[in-house]
Structure 1
Amino acid sequence: MTKSSIAPLLAQALAAVGGSLDVRVEAEDDLDIITALYAEVRHAELAPLPWPDKAKRDFLDAQCRLQRDHYARHYAGAELLIIERGGQPIGRIYVHATATEIRLMEITVQAAERNRGIGTCMIRALQDEAARRAVPLTLHVEPANPAQRMYQRLGFQLIENRGVYDFLGWGPGMGNGEWGSGQAASCS
């Protein structure tokens, strides 16, 4: 598999959403963007803690670094992509595709860009690719994450509760039909 096998599929799907959306390969100088996205998603979890703001920022920065280290260690060869609107970063999507599985490792979109079909469209593109390859599409998600509704709507099924995460799957052998709710529909 080449380094850019998933990126063109996602770029094509995003073009159907419109609004100058695209993906590009993550670069080393994207660390500030990645850290800010991570903090935006996780900040509410720390709100009840009586920590100073700087301690919360430092904690989130450290957690983001640990997540990146984990991904590098366990998902060698993954495609780490930045989602852009008009050339400006608005999110990230990380995908690890092997001969037996496509793993959606991470999908994060800035709050101001959510509920516009961006995540749905990219996941449908991954479902299409999983169906083409005849492999499952899998992911981990926290049980209380609002994205759970989107995953259910797209035909994902719970494979296993792994404590802090639910492990979800879509595709053959997932208890959701041969290909979940059917092959992914157009994003337009």
Structure 2
Amino acid sequence: MPEFKGVSPYSQIPFQYSLHIEHEDGRLEHKEFLSLDGVDPREEISKRLVEDIPSNVTVLAYNMGFEKGVIRKLANLFEQYSHGLMAIHDNCKDLMIPFQNKDYYHPNMKGSYSIKYVLPSLVPEFENAYKELDLIHNGGEAMEAFANLSKIEDVKLKQRYRDSLLEYCKLDTLAMVKVLEKLKECVR
């Protein structure tokens, strides 16, 4: 049974994001959002995305179809954020494309263009980055952990899971920054 009103079974509910923002001067800024557990996060995440992402910038995602679908659904749900969300949607570019099209290939990718293969191939120092995280090592674990947060009564353990969710999501976007840096080096 869905946890929130107006949600069908197995609907994907966005509850978290991480942004690494590269400014014109090369400075990198990190912004993140993680919803409180037990609360429908969709309106707050919509509001925060529009606040955190200017409408005139390129937004890079890896396998952007998922992100664009979620943003489109949020835009349809919340008219007050629709314009800003659709600007984000329309400005999305997919960092996966050069790998999917085999414009860049490394034998360590083993025929895959999954970020889990691309990242260590381009940035070897990140080879064990996901394995070295505390409690969350992949997207499935992140979804499961967030779904169970409201059931955790131990305050310290709950905070450890929240910190781990933030750490995992931050690593995902930092990975894209590092991959983009390597691609830029290749074309210089």
- Please state which band the TM-score falls in when normalised by the shorter chain: under 0.3
TM-score (norm 1): 0.25
Q: Which has the larger radius of gyration?
A: 2
Higher strand share: 1
